[in-house]
Chains A and B, each alone.
Chain A
Amino acid sequence: MAEHIISLKGVTKEFDTKNGKVVALKDINLDIEKGDSYGIIGLSGAGKSTLVRTINLLEEPTEGRVIFDGNVLTGLKSKQLNLHRRKISMIFQQFNLLMQRDAIGNICFPMEIAGVPKAQAVEKATELLKVVDLEDRAHSFPSQLSGGQKQRVAIARALASDPEVILCDEATSALDPKTTRSILKLLRQINEERGITLVVITHEMEVIKQLCNKVAVIENGEIVERGDVQEIFAKPKTKAARRLFFPDGKNREKPSGKTSTKNRLRLVFDEANAYKPIIASMILETGAPVNFFYADLDVLGDKQKGQMVICLSDDKELAEKQKEYLRKEGVEFTEIEEEIEEVTE
């Protein structure tokens, strides 16, 4: 059994508000293995930010235990907790850099806290600036850096304490798509080359697809589905997961006009069958046409996955034949007719 670097056991978090108690997290059980890049995805307000904050006890759970690298963090005195926190770095949507310190100064900050001698800290910070490709901005202040550069400094800062884990709280949500890709690439590299476990909080499917090997879907403070990204992408079991993984266009799933709304399928292709003309062959073999609603090619980690929404023949017998053909070809599919109301907002 692989080692769990982070375990949440029955974690519940309640907030007292003016309108009474709000339960942000309900009995969360989650195990994250060393080296994972674990995505936690949900819509805003689902509780994902609270969840990640319980891992380093920025939010103290009302109930339950947080275990990091074999140590129970909940209930620790702040001195002990602070020692463990040095091994759990965090990067934020708003970067949270010290505005009065330059890039080097920011990267040195966690080492200063840990009592690393200054010369040694500066040397390491300079090295880390190279890792994040910002050697020439060592003495720039955050106000002189772009969003992507600020996040790179924040990543270098996160690496400075040689952490076991980096918690990424919507780390790319304030960045443009191009910068997002480069930051995700950097994080992926850190995960793969240094073996640092990532916990990635996001509301964007793209982030999960590009960065994570595992994912948990959180809704109303509960984890409703979890597993390998590949698996959940191919066969999402819950509505919440389908809503996130299925094509995001509001009307793509709801055919307009008089087109049949029955018999709609979401197909997922992997590399084994992505290059075969499966749909064309299916039409030729069954002699019945299909309607296309949506098609896209996704990259999950380093694997390519295609997805497509089609509408089968109205004739039940023919539709059955078509499905039979898809099964034979090994194409994963889910019927989505019941999803129309949920998906259309």
Chain B
Amino acid sequence: MGAQELISLLAEETVKTLYMTVVATVIAYLVGLPIGVSLIVTSPNGIKPMPVYYNIMGIIVNVIRSVPFLILMIALLPYIRIVIGTSIGPNAITAALVVAAAPFVARLVESSLMEVDPGVIEAAQAMGASTFQIIWKVLLLEGRPSLLNGAAVATINILGYSAMAGTVGGGGLGDIAIRYGLYRFQPTIMWITIAVLVVLVQILQEVGIRIVAKSDNRIN
């Protein structure tokens, strides 16, 4: 394979990887953020304790999280085909990524919000703030730096998962690594792919750190 060809292949698959990562992260947050918030709010020490909901949701999250991603994905693909019509390609993999990542995101959100000073929540309660106002104006606002930090971790994790999806025909950088590196035994291409992944993770981490620093009013 010529250099030209290789570059265009890498570019194409990097775009696919980024597509899967970004879309899956966004949807995983749309699902996981409310779940994480609900776990904090309904916990025994939360602002509206609801033990039944809290325990059931906790078990669901833990069950999904305890299945390794590769196995979860293989188990889910037949159902994904029913829902979105295909079990290969970036869209199918994105769906699997969302299912795997949402519970992880929920736990990340939960632990971020746990750091919010209970005294500030108490102050808001004393002012007569409703549960919704406390979630919106206190928990999410005061927890913002930690939430963004968690989002960087989640994105990088999902990027890693998406590469794994290459083994089941998901496309993206993982796909190149497996097809060329493993099946055709071309270690150079394998290493180049790894290098691209490393660079992507570095960029994500760096951007994440900067956004967190900029958003946190406690530091300066």
Which residues of A line the B interface, CB within 8 A? 56, 58, 78-79, 81-86, 88-90, 92, 94, 96-102, 109-110, 112-114, 141-144, 161, 167
Contacts and interface: CB of A to CB of B under 8 A. Distances in A.
B137 interface: yes
Nearest to B133: A113
A68 to B, nearest CB: 12
The secondary-structure label for the interface of chain A is mixed
Contacts of B137: 109, 112-113
B46 to A, nearest CB: 14
B123 A90 contact: yes
Interface of B: 117, 119-120, 122-131, 133, 137-138, 141-142, 144-145, 216-220
Contacts of B220: 141, 143-144
A86 B127 CA distance: 5
Contact of B138 (A83, A98, A142): A98
Given A98-B142, A99-B217, A143-B218, A92 B127 contact: no
Nearest to A167: B126
A102 B129 CA distance: 19
A100 B142 contact: yes
Please report whether the interface of chain B is mostly helix, strand, loop or mixed according to DSSP: helix
Contacts of B217: 99-102, 141, 143
Nearest to B121: A96
Given A112-B137, A141-B217, A161 B123 contact: no
A171 B110 CA distance: 31
Contacts of A96: 117, 119-120, 122-123
B141 A94 contact: no
Contacts of B119: 92, 94, 96
Given A100-B141, A112-B137, A161 B130 contact: no
A159 to B, nearest CB: 12
Contacts of B216: 100
A113 B144 contact: no
Nearest to A144: B220
A9 B206 CA distance: 59
Given A98-B142, A99-B142, A100-B142, A161 B218 contact: no
A112 to B, nearest CB: 7
A81 B130 CA distance: 10
Nearest to B138: A98
Contacts of A98: 120, 138, 141-142
B128 A85 contact: yes
Contact of A113 (B120, B127, B145, B218): B127
A228 B131 CA distance: 40
B211 to A, nearest CB: 14
Nearest to A143: B218
A99 B137 CA distance: 12
Given A99-B218, A100-B217, A101-B141, A82 B117 contact: no
Contacts of B141: 98, 100-101
Given A101-B217, A109-B137, A56 B126 contact: yes
A113 B123 contact: no
Nearest to B142: A100
Contacts of B130: 78-79, 82, 113
A119 B71 CA distance: 55
Instruction: Give the interface centre of A79, A83, A99, A110 by most chain B CB atoms within 10 Å.
Output: A99
6 contacts: A85-B126, A92-B122, A97-B123, A98-B142, A99-B142, A113-B127
A96 B123 CA distance: 6
A86 B120 contact: no
B127 A89 contact: yes
A92 to B, nearest CB: 6
B219 A143 contact: yes
B94 to A, nearest CB: 33
A86 B128 CA distance: 5
A108 to B, nearest CB: 11
Closest 5 pairs between A and B when the two form their complex, measured CB to CB: A85-B128, A82-B128, A96-B123, A96-B119, A90-B126
Residue with the highest number of chain B CB atoms closer than 10 Å, among A79, A81, A109:
A109
